[in-house]
């Protein structure tokens, strides 16, 4: 599922209400994305959508609390928002070309000052303005912040959206495919399945394994008579020593994790389950993913 040239990462889209954030996501969806349903993985991870191609995956995530609030934001919400902006790979700051600069933008730009994450200015709704107006806007916003890229688009008509996706990919690090290409939309249980495996691994290894281990679903499909669900999943750890612990003597620990998880998954899905588990060492990325969880992706 991962090869050396695969790129992946997290992208946060921020901007005042009605600038076109949802329209942009929907346009990308129209091509290849799948929006996550309003099921557990959404409430937990605040993932808005996942865009997958042959050699890249972009996980669009929501950043609660970054829009100018009607009332004073709690410290916690503010911290969550700030941390999220630091943890993602790219921030897309979207504005409405028709409206120009406003106080809502001022609020957001203040928040952006404290992060080193690359920020793109996405100027949306260019179908509504004259090119001269666009140049003026670009000049104005250039003076407010050191945007890494400035990309004019029309999310509605799709103009330049491909270019924006290309530029996003250019800034993503090499990394794994976090989510299956066919996505979880119709399978909210996928997320629960990986959490069940994670839970068993943590429980059985006690303090020896940090809570930051991740479980990634490689495949989940019905086969044969349709009564058995085949699941392949990878447990990702940070160090070789942890891999050894998870696998156990002659594979005994991994077998135990698998058996216990399988019991729960069969109960969850109401069908027979064939579960194949792998263990992989990956140094950095899963840590980031867990941090994302810790930074407010929990409810």
- Footprint (CB under 6 A) of ligand GDP, residues 97-126: 124-125
In whole angstroms, the minimum distance from the beta carbon of 49 to Mg ion comes to: 12
**Residue with Cβ nearer ligand GDP (124 or 205):** 124
Which partner, ligand GDP, K ion, Mg ion, none, binds residue 127 by CB below 5 to 8 Å per kind? ligand GDP
Written as six digits, the tokens of 167 are 């530029």
257 — alpha (psi -120 to 50), left (phi > 0) or beta? alpha
Question: Is 211 in a helix, a strand, or coil?
Answer: coil
**Residue with Cβ nearer ligand GDP (152 or 258):** 152
Pair 21, 28: CB distance under 8 Å? no
**Residue with Cβ nearer Mg ion (94 or 112):** 94
Written as six digits, the tokens of 149 are 């890229």
Number of residues that bind Mg ion (CB under 5 A): 2
Contact characters 121-150, ligand GDP, x per CB under 6 A: ---xx-xx----------------------
**Residue with Cβ nearer ligand GDP (18 or 271):** 18
Q: Which residue is nearest to Mg ion (CB)?
A: 22
| CA distance to 62, 67, 68, 176, per residue, from 71 (Å) | 20, 11, 9, 39
Alpha helices in 113-237 (DSSP H): 131-142, 161-171, 189-205
**Residue with Cβ nearer ligand GDP (17 or 131):** 17
Which partner, Mg ion, K ion, ligand GDP, none, binds residue 190 by CB below 5 to 8 Å per kind? none
Determine the distance from the C-alpha atom of residue 185 to the mean position of all C-alpha atoms in its chain, rounded to a whole number: 14
130-135-137 Cα angle (round to 5): 95
31-33-39 Cα angle (round to 5): 145
Q: Which of 117, 160, 177, 194 binds K ion (CB under 5 A)?
A: 117
In whole angstroms, the minimum distance from the beta carbon of 96 to Mg ion comes to: 12
In whole angstroms, the minimum distance from the beta carbon of 146 to ligand GDP comes to: 23
How many alpha carbons lie under 13 Å from residue 120 in its C-beta half-sphere?
27
**Residue with Cβ nearer ligand GDP (20 or 49):** 20
How far apart CA 252 and CA 132 sit, in angstroms, is 68
In whole angstroms, the minimum distance from the beta carbon of 25 to Mg ion comes to: 8
- Footprint (CB under 6 A) of ligand GDP, residues 16-45: 17-23
**Residue with Cβ nearer Mg ion (20 or 258):** 20
How far apart CA 29 and CA 31 sit, in angstroms, is 5
274 — alpha (psi -120 to 50), left (phi > 0) or beta? beta
- Footprint (CB under 5 A) of Mg ion, residues 18-37: 21-22
Which partner, K ion, ligand GDP, Mg ion, none, binds residue 286 by CB below 5 to 8 Å per kind? none
- Which residues contribute to the site for Mg ion (CB under 5 A)? 21-22
């Amino acid at each position: 599922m991962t090869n050396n040239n695969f790129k992946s990462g997290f992208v946060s889209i921020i901007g005042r209400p009605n600038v076109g954030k949802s329209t942009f996501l929907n346009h990308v969806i129209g091509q290849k994305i799948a929006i996550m349903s309003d099921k557990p993985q959404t409430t937990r991870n605040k993932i808005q959508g996942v865009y997958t191609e042959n050699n890249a995956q972009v996980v669009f995530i929501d950043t609660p609390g970054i829009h100018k609030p009607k009332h004073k934001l709690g410290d916690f919400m503010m911290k969550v928002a700030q941390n999220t902006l630091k943890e993602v790979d790219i921030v897309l700051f979207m504005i409405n070309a028709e409206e120009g600069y406003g106080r809502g933008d001022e609020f957001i730009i203040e928040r952006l000052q404290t992060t080193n994450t690359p920020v793109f200015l996405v100027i949306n709704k260019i179908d509504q303005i004259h090119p001269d107006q666009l140049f003026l806007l670009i000049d104005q916003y250039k003076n407010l912040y050191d945007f890494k890229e400035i990309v004019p688009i029309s999310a509605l008509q799709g103009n330049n959206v491909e270019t924006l996706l290309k530029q996003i990919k250019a800034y993503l690090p090499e990394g794994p495919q976090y989510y299956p290409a066919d996505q979880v939309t119709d399978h909210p249980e996928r997320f629960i399945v990986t959490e069940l495996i994670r839970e068993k691994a943590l429980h059985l290894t006690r303090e020896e394994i940090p809570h930051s281990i991740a479980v990634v679903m490689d495949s989940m499909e019905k086969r044969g008579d349709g009564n058995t669900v085949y699941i392949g999943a990878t447990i990702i750890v940070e160090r070789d020593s942890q891999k050894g612990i998870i696998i156990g003597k002659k594979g005994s620990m991994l077998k135990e994790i698998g058996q216990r998880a399988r019991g729960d998954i069969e109960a969850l899905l109401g069908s027979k389950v064939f579960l194949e588990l792998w263990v992989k060492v990956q140094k950095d990325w899963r840590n980031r993913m867990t941090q994302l969880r810790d930074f407010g992706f929990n409810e």
